[in-house]
Amino acid sequence: MNYENFLLKQPKESPDYRECSEFVINAVEGIIQEAIDNKQNRIIINTNLRFGLPMENINKIAGPFVEAWAVETFTDVVENTKNSFHLIHVEAQPRLSKSDVVLQFKKERKSEMGITAEVDVKATAEDIEGSGKSPNITSFARIRTAYIDDPDYLFVILSLKHRVYSQKNEASKLIDGIMEVVGHRSYDLKYLSASDLSYNPALGTGQIQVRDIHYISLETRTTWDFCRLLDQKYLASSKNSIESWHRLAAKYGWIKTDE
């Protein structure tokens, strides 16, 4: 059994895919930067703890807060129907989805009038070394199948850097925790360099990971090239075989059949 001998489905993206990808990345980064510039980048956490939040473990709880902040930031923009980013729809995703939020933008194209992007928000602490450095993205089988089902599938990783500090609340005389988003970068998953992507065999069909989200390089490639790269990452693991890959390929419809 040899990988090259299988008759695989080869997804082909639209000619303007790269243009659409750049459009979305610029919009996402513009929205986040505007929130920072307008000082709408703070999350205030009120507790009844007299000494404030447990700063030594704050990175363990920061992720969900920062993700929720990002969703609300996108929602604030879409409520302005004439926003400069052409964002027309925002939909938060349920737990265990591939992404945290789906964004739709209005853009004139030859075949349609818009772009849909799934955004996965990753939080990293500015002042905690190694925080969020190598995040899981999603399962190998799910992301591989997504690009077969839609060759123009656009999956954005939004990396948000935050810092946390305490401030006394004069009204309650307690300590408020302040989470502040201070930096951001956005990437199209399909364009991450081969060396920046890794495969973790733990959990189900394995997880696609980013080696170091703070230092990313990009490589332009087609959807079909990306599917092959994902396959290579899977097959390079000592826990996987071409037989196990073939079972997944048959189950999820990656191979052409006569049926």
Q: Tell me, yes or no, whether 41 lies in a domain.
A: yes
Q: In what order do the strands lie in the sheet with 175-188?
A: 42-45, 175-188, 155-168, 114-125, 101-106, 87-92
Q: Tell me, yes or no, whether 232 lies in a domain.
A: yes
* Whole-number Å distance between alpha carbons of 235 and 223: 19
Q: Tell me, yes or no, whether 30 lies in a domain.
A: yes
Q: Tell me, yes or no, whether 36 lies in a domain.
A: yes
pTM above 0.85, yes or no: yes
* Whole-number Å distance between alpha carbons of 222 and 17: 9
* pLDDT at 258 (0 to 100): 57
Q: How far from the centroid of its chain's Cα atoms is residue 224's Cα?
A: 20
* Whole-number Å distance between alpha carbons of 217 and 195: 9
Looking up residue 191, the CATH number of its domain turns out to be: 3.40.600
Q: Tell me, yes or no, whether 52 lies in a domain.
A: yes
| Amino acid at the residue 143 | I
* pLDDT at 128 (0 to 100): 55
Q: Which domain does 178 fall in, by range?
A: 14-252
With tokens 């510039």, the residue in question is 37
Mean pLDDT in order along the chain per 10 residues (259 residues): 91 95 97 97 84 70 89 96 96 90 91 90 73 81 97 96 83 81 95 96 90 92 97 93 95 84
Q: Tell me, yes or no, whether 217 lies in a domain.
A: yes
* Domain count across the chain: 1
Q: Tell me, yes or no, whether 185 lies in a domain.
A: yes
Q: Tell me, yes or no, whether 2 lies in a domain.
A: no
